[in-house]
Amino acid sequence: GENVEQHPSTLSVQEGDSAVIKCTYSDSASNYFPWYKQELGKGPQLIIDIRSNVGEKKDQRIAVTLNKTAKHFSLHITETQPEDSAVYFCAASSATSYDKVIFGPGTSLSVIP
**Residue numbers at the binding site for another protein (CB under 8 A):** 31-32, 34, 36, 41-46, 49, 51, 89, 95, 98-101, 103-106
Other Cβ atoms within 10 Å of 32 Cβ, number = 14
Distance CA 3, CA 28 (A): 11
Residue closer to another protein (CB basis): 95 or 112: 95
The 62-67 sheet, strands edge to edge: 4-7, 19-25, 72-77, 62-67, 56-59
Q: How far is the CB of 107 from another protein (least distance, A)?
A: 11
Using alpha carbons, select from 67, 70, 93, 82 the residue that is nearest to residue 14.
Answer: 82
Q: How far is the CB of 4 from another protein (least distance, A)?
A: 9
Residue closer to another protein (CB basis): 92 or 111: 92
Residue closer to another protein (CB basis): 18 or 28: 28
